[in-house]
Structure 1
Amino acid sequence: MAKRALLLDLGGTVFRSGAELMADLGEACPATRAVTARRGPLGPEHDALWDAMIAEEITERDYWARRSDEVGAALGRDWPIQEFMHTLWGLSDDLVRPEAAALVDAARAAGHPVGALTNDLRAFHGDGAMSTHPLIATFDVLVDGSDTGVLKPDPRAYAIAVDALGLPASEIVFVDDMPWNIAGARRAGMIALELDLRNPGEVFGRAAVELGLDRSTR
């Protein structure tokens, strides 16, 4: 097998998704439960706004801006989205998916370059804890659309990551939780694997296989 690289989305892939953390928010702040009951495929109530996002009628940033406004209203707060995100991701010390961390460690140990391709790290989190998480510091490459101004699934976003990793797109294993980002990666020629929020750990085993890693690393 040719040398391959691992390229990961961050929020929802390496880190627990906002949809998962909204459940924690509802538990911590009962006033928000009418909002947090609608959390994509994971909530007890139908989330029409999520459906609109998946249908690409609104952007992911639009979705979370609306949720930020709704949660802020429930709490009587008029806040910027970064404050909402700091609150959401500050509810738990267990933000990293263990399967993602294990895959990153195994890939690096086997000599595979590891990178992140994210749209919103700085836009959503600023210099907060997620942006400075020690796992991110171990990555060889970090491409943040907040800084480049080019967001997935724009082909240029994948091209920037390909150039930074220094390998052909066909040798890059990419994992993301949003279908349009997966479609964009496939059009770019990557080996693209979609994470299912209802079973998030499963995709990392498939990524390990694509990287030629031992099954015990999955």
Structure 2
Amino acid sequence: MTVIDDWRAGRNRVIRRAAAVRSRGEGPQLTTVVLDLGGVVVPTLFEVVDEPGFPAGPFGDDPLYAGVEQGRLQERDYWAAVARCRPDLDIGRYMRTRLGVRAEIRTLLARIGGRVRVVALTNDMAHWFGADWATSLAELDRFDLLLEAATSGVLKPDPAVFRWALQLVGEPADRCLFVDDLPSNLRGAQAVGMAVEHFRVDDPAGSVRRVLDRLGIDGSEPHSRVYHPERP
């Protein structure tokens, strides 16, 4: 089989899968995955810091963090409040030294890279990692586009962030799957018509499986790219 034949076979598989999705009434085919960074691509501090009295976040009774989940409080403000109450906890150092890309996300990137477009949408990574944050993790090279909401002047979960991101992505909202660990951010994406998937930090492997299911990718078949930018 030639390269062209292989590409055509892959394309036909994609077309058949898209037709099956449409026949089930599940909407347009997803061609772009937009991943939150903190909490999705990299773990939360709640998962990696084991210090006496460290806040529980989503893993326990943490009324302040509930404000983050509900969209009433930014994560930056949450951690600032924690630092004021617990000056012995160096939150910035934890961010810079304890966080790396989840093994489950490395698996996800390996399976979907080259098949769909992969975009990162973070709120304000520069606040913790500096202006060159995009070079802080080698795996970020596997993303097609890195977006930091703070540069738009608005932060998630404001729907304006997602409209801004969609303009830069250049894809219709209903072809983009947004993945985030915070329900409030998912609601912001839904408000502009994006498909969403909740990433559960207490079940990262299950969350990755659900993303693959949404894309119709099982990882066993040869790569077939779903996203093809328009050619002149």
TM-score by length of 2: 0.74
1:121 aligns to what?
125
Identity %, equivalent residues = 31
Distance of aligned partners of 1:53 and 1:129 in 2 relative to their CA distance in 1, 3 Å threshold: closer
* Contact kept? 2:38, 2:44, Cα under 8 Å: yes
Aligned mate of 1:48, from 50, 55, 63: 63
Tell me how far apart the structure 2 counterparts of residues 205 and 62 of structure 1 sit (CA, whole Å). 32
Distance of aligned partners of 1:142 and 1:88 in 2 relative to their CA distance in 1, 3 Å threshold: closer
Tell me how far apart the structure 2 counterparts of residues 19 and 146 of structure 1 sit (CA, whole Å). 23
- Amino acid across the alignment from 1:96: V
* Contact kept? 2:149, 2:161, Cα under 8 Å: yes
Range moving further from structure 2, 49-58 or 200-209:
49-58
1:74 aligns to what?
88
Tell me how far apart the structure 1 counterparts of residues 93 and 133 of structure 2 sit (CA, whole Å). 8
Tell me how far apart the structure 2 counterparts of residues 89 and 113 of structure 1 sit (CA, whole Å). 28
In the TM superposition, residue 52 of structure 1 has moved relative to its aligned partner by: 3.2
Q: Secondary structure at the match of 1:201?
A: helix
Pairs aligned (count): 194
2:31 aligns to what?
4
* Contact kept? 2:45, 2:94, Cα under 8 Å: no
* Contact kept? 2:95, 2:128, Cα under 8 Å: no
Tell me how far apart the structure 2 counterparts of residues 185 and 213 of structure 1 sit (CA, whole Å). 23
In the TM superposition, residue 181 of structure 1 has moved relative to its aligned partner by: 0.3
Q: How do residues 17-36 of structure 1 correspond to structure 2 at under 5 angstroms?
A: 17-23=44-50, 26=51, 33-34=52-53, 36=54
Q: How do residues 39-118 of structure 1 correspond to structure 2 at under 5 angstroms?
A: 39-43=56-60, 46-71=61-86, 73-74=87-88, 84-91=91-98, 95-110=100-115, 112-118=116-122
* Contact kept? 1:125, 1:131, Cα under 8 Å: no
* Contact kept? 1:193, 1:207, Cα under 8 Å: yes
> Where do 5+ consecutive residues of structure 2 fail to align?
1-17, 19-28, 222-232
Distance of aligned partners of 1:167 and 1:18 in 2 relative to their CA distance in 1, 3 Å threshold: same
Q: How do residues 145-156 of structure 1 correspond to structure 2 at under 5 angstroms?
A: 145-156=149-160
Tell me how far apart the structure 1 counterparts of residues 150 and 163 of structure 2 sit (CA, whole Å). 16
* Contact kept? 2:96, 2:128, Cα under 8 Å: no
> Where do 5+ consecutive residues of structure 1 fail to align?
27-32, 76-82
In the TM superposition, residue 14 of structure 1 has moved relative to its aligned partner by: 0.4
1:16 aligns to what?
43
1:29 aligns to what?
none
1:211 aligns to what?
215
Q: Encode CA deviations 1:110-147: one digit per residue, 9 max, x unaligned.
A: 2x111011102112221577752111122111110232
Q: Alignment RMSD, CA only?
A: 2.3
Tell me how far apart the structure 1 counterparts of residues 120 and 98 of structure 2 sit (CA, whole Å). 23
* Contact kept? 2:71, 2:185, Cα under 8 Å: no
- Amino acid across the alignment from 1:106: R
Larger Rg: 2
Q: Secondary structure at the match of 1:7?
A: strand
TM-score by length of 1: 0.79
Distance of aligned partners of 1:174 and 1:102 in 2 relative to their CA distance in 1, 3 Å threshold: same
2:227 aligns to what?
none
